[in-house]
Amino acid sequence: MSAEQSSGGLTEYIVHHLTHNTAEVAGYTFHVDSWVIALALGLLACFLLWTQARKATAGVPSKPQAFVEMVVEFVDSQVKDTFHGDRRFIAPLALTIFVWVAFMNAMDLLPLDLPGRLVAWVAGEEVAHHTYLRVVPTADINTTFGMSITVFLLIIFYSIKAKGGWGFTKELFTAPFHAHNPIARLVLAPANLFLNVVEYLSKPVSLGMRLFGNMYAGELLFMLIAGLFASWITFLPGVIFNSVWAIFHILIILLQAFIFMVLTVVYLAMAHEHH
């Protein structure tokens, strides 16, 4: 195989694996795979936590119960250190985010060609060639921005809840530059509004882009390794490289879930505090 043919085959391989399973909904492209897999993983996470909560005992816990308790206590301690208001909603929200994002990120550890092989086994190679499926929802910017926009709406809600509608609006025009003189306040109002709008909008953008960028890069690297070591001659080096990257990627999976959770709690804590 020539270098040009090899490059073309690798490009086709990567493009195929980066193509979403889509559907047209109200004139817009809808990523069916991201939505279905994210929903299924969210329900699975809730079911697993619920089953362990039902089986919880006061005596010596089982290994799954001990693991769940460790995760819950870890998340609760993070929330307790950061959010100083009523945590009855924030703590479950943080736990949901951490577990859900970790589950979605962990889909990146599945063998890259496993979905295609399953489709080929059930329906044949031709159907598999024209079937697209991306199994990592957080490698889709629509998923991460959907989550970050929800966090943004919660930030606005907690800001208004803590400061009131008038207090929130007043702060947009009077902070961070304060002035006692009415004329000076009027002059500084546009600059304050601009800075506050930039600050508020930067939170969901950075939150969504950080998670998407890390997971997309990890997914792409798995594809490059799989494509470059696709022949029988290079099969063993490919397995070694993929295994090493997968072990390192476990840290990224958990770290990104932790960062998304912590930043969400920090942003909500900042919104909840009175200026």
Enzyme catalytic residues: 206, 210, 214
Torsion of CA 268, 270, 271, 275, to 10 degrees: 160
Distance in angstroms (rounded) separating the CA atoms of residues 93 and 33: 24
The helix (run of H) or strand (run of E) holding residue 22 is: strand 22-25
Please report how many Cα atoms fall inside a 13 Å half-sphere around the Cα of residue 250, on the Cβ side: 5
Residue 28's DSSP bridge partners are: 25
d(CA 42, CA 38): 6
Helix and strand counts by DSSP (H, E) for the chain: 9, 2
